[in-house]
């Protein structure tokens, strides 16, 4: 498979398969992940190859899924839980925020919970209510959770394996409108030779303004950088949302003097606000303009016929870039 073109969804599937082949303690569990292969078919074929003991179709009870995973992790397993859609996570919030995130600190490091929670998130697929949320700020605000998101098939292949190998609980956010994006994936080597899970990546160098994005917005940011023929835009794929690789962001901003942060989630209290505050503190004397945030509106996610007006697009990102040069 080295260099094979895969969709992002198939790359996650291949990464899960490799992790399960390498470690019999890795389990996949969730609603319809077995015989059906998941609603997005990300776990397709795993049930046939690994059986019902390792690919477990659970009841429709998200709290039970995470609670069971906590017990399995305490017994030495590495469960990978699938939440079908972002808006379905909240019944599991109590188990995640009050138990999963806190047990390592509560036990003074004696206990660890290597649980991965896979969550398809974000809009752009014309779905109904509760199927297009961007809840990353809830997770990044919770100490004890690692939060990552992927934007490319190659990252998807390697980062799901890194998340499974991590001793801490990891929330693995999958941009559902990118599941079908296809690109070459390098599958030789090991997780130790891949880009570390916690590092941001400069995906397009530039000199005039830094544009930080993650997950589904990385593709939009790259299109914006290509469309702006007047300015040289440096695009950073954040990759890890908690912890954030601020060193890479700071270094870029100190070179460009300007920063735009974009995400699908509402702007108010979003991750972009934290990044803006940190950059303002660390790079104050390098900034030529205030940090600009471009995100969703402060409304509940709209019906599918209106989502194209809600989601940040190329024009709104370019408007954010323009605003940094208005000062």
pLDDT tens digit string along 177-224? Answer: 999 999 999 988 888 889 999 999 999 999 999 999 999 999 999 999
What is the average pLDDT value for the chain, to the nearest integer? 96
What pLDDT, on the 0 to 100 scale, is given for residue 193? 85
What pLDDT, on the 0 to 100 scale, is given for residue 98? 96
**Which residues partner with 234 through β-bridges?**
210
Domain with 292, as residue range(s), is 201-324
CA distance 6 to 18: 15
Q: Is residue 175 part of a domain?
A: yes
Q: Are residues 142 and 114 in the same domain?
A: yes
Q: Answer with the one of 159, 185, 211 that is the final residue of a domain.
A: 185
Catalytic residues: 131
Q: Is residue 238 part of a domain?
A: yes
The CATH number of residue 126's host domain is 3.40.50.970
Counting beta carbons within 10 angstroms of the beta carbon of residue 130, is it exposed (0 to 12), middle (13 to 18) or buried (19 or more)? middle
What does the pLDDT look like over 52-65, one tens digit per residue?
Answer: 999 999 999 999 99
CA distance 301 to 32: 25
User: Per-residue pLDDT for 41 more than 80?
Assistant: yes
Quick one: average pLDDT of 62-69?
98
CA distance 249 to 76: 37
Q: Are residues 93 and 216 in the same domain?
A: no
DSSP state of 189: S
What pLDDT, on the 0 to 100 scale, is given for residue 190? 87
User: Per-residue pLDDT for 3 more than 80?
Assistant: no
Quick one: average pLDDT of 240-248?
98
Quick one: average pLDDT of 256-275?
98
Q: Is residue 293 part of a domain?
A: yes
Q: Is residue 56 part of a domain?
A: yes
Counting beta carbons within 10 angstroms of the beta carbon of residue 186, is it exposed (0 to 12), middle (13 to 18) or buried (19 or more)? middle
Q: Is residue 156 part of a domain?
A: yes
CA angle 283, 286, 292 (to 5 degrees): 70
In the block, residue with structure tokens 């030789």: 188
Quick one: average pLDDT of 246-270?
98
What pLDDT band is residue 150 in, cutting at 50, 70 and 90?
very high
Q: Are residues 54 and 144 in the same domain?
A: yes
Q: Answer with the one of 185, 214, 233 that is the final residue of a domain.
A: 185
What pLDDT, on the 0 to 100 scale, is given for residue 210? 98
Quick one: average pLDDT of 80-96?
97
What pLDDT, on the 0 to 100 scale, is given for residue 1? 44
Q: Are residues 15 and 129 in the same domain?
A: yes
Q: Largest Cα–Cα distance of the chain, in whole Å? A: 61
Quick one: average pLDDT of 31-51?
97
Least confident of 187-191, 202-206, 274-278, 311-315: 187-191
Q: Are residues 243 and 109 in the same domain?
A: no
Determine contact, residues 63/90, Cβ cutoff 8 Å: no
Q: Answer with the one of 150, 185, 220 that is the final residue of a domain.
A: 185
- Between 150 and 190, the more confident residue is 150
Determine contact, residues 136/160, Cβ cutoff 8 Å: no
Q: Are residues 166 and 39 in the same domain?
A: yes
Which stretches of 23-152 are DSSP H helices? 46-50, 62-74, 93-94, 103-106, 136-140
CA distance 215 to 151: 5
What pLDDT, on the 0 to 100 scale, is given for residue 28? 98
Q: Are residues 241 and 318 in the same domain?
A: yes
Q: Are residues 272 and 304 in the same domain?
A: yes
User: Per-residue pLDDT for 2 more than 90?
Assistant: no
Q: Are residues 24 and 166 in the same domain?
A: yes
User: Per-residue pLDDT for 130 more than 90?
Assistant: yes
User: Per-residue pLDDT for 295 more than 90?
Assistant: yes
Q: Are residues 221 and 308 in the same domain?
A: yes
Q: Are residues 46 and 151 in the same domain?
A: yes
Quick one: average pLDDT of 111-125?
97
What pLDDT, on the 0 to 100 scale, is given for residue 189? 85
Query: Domains in the chain: how many in total?
Result: 2
Q: Is residue 192 part of a domain?
A: no
Q: Are residues 86 and 38 in the same domain?
A: yes
The CATH number of residue 286's host domain is 3.40.50.920
CA distance 95 to 266: 25
């Amino acid at each position: 498979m080295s260099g094979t073109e895969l969709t992002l969804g198939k790359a996650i599937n291949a990464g899960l398969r490799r992790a399960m082949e390498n470690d019999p303690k890795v389990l996949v569990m969730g609603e319809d992940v077995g015989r059906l292969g998941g609603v997005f078919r990300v776990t397709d074929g795993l049930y046939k190859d690994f059986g019902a003991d390792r690919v477990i179709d659970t009841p429709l009870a998200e709290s039970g899924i995470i609670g069971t995973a906590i017990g399995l992790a305490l017994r030495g397993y590495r469960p990978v839980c699938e939440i079908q859609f972002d808006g379905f996570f909240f019944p599991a919030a109590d188990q995640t925020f009050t138990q999963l995130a806190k047990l390592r600190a509560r036990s003074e490091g004696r206990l660890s919970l290597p649980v991965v929670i896979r969550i398809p998130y974000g809009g752009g697929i014309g779905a109904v209510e509760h199927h297009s949320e961007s809840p990353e700020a809830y997770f990044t605000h919770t100490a004890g959770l690692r939060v990552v998101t992927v934007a490319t098939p190659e990252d998807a292949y390697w980062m799901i394996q890194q998340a499974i190998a991590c001793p801490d609980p990891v929330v693995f956010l999958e941009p559902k409108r990118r599941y079908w994006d296809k690109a070459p994936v390098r599958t030789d080597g090991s997780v130790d030779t891949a880009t570390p899970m916690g590092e941001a990546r400069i995906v397009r160098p530039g000199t005039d303004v830094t544009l930080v994005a993650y997950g589904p917005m990385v593709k939009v940011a790259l299109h914006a950088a290509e469309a702006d023929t007047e300015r040289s835009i440096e695009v950073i794929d954040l990759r890890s949302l908690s912890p954030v690789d601020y060193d890479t962001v700071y270094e870029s901003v100190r070179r460009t003097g300007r920063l735009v942060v974009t995400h699908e989630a509402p702007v108010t209290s979003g991750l972009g606000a934290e990044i803006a505050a940190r950059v303002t503190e660390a790079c104050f004397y390098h900034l030529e303009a205030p940090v600009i945030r471009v995100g969703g509106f402060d409304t509940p996610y709209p019906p599918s016929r209106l989502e194209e007006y809600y989601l940040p697009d190329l024009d709104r990102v370019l408007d954010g870039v323009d605003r940094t040069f208005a000062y």
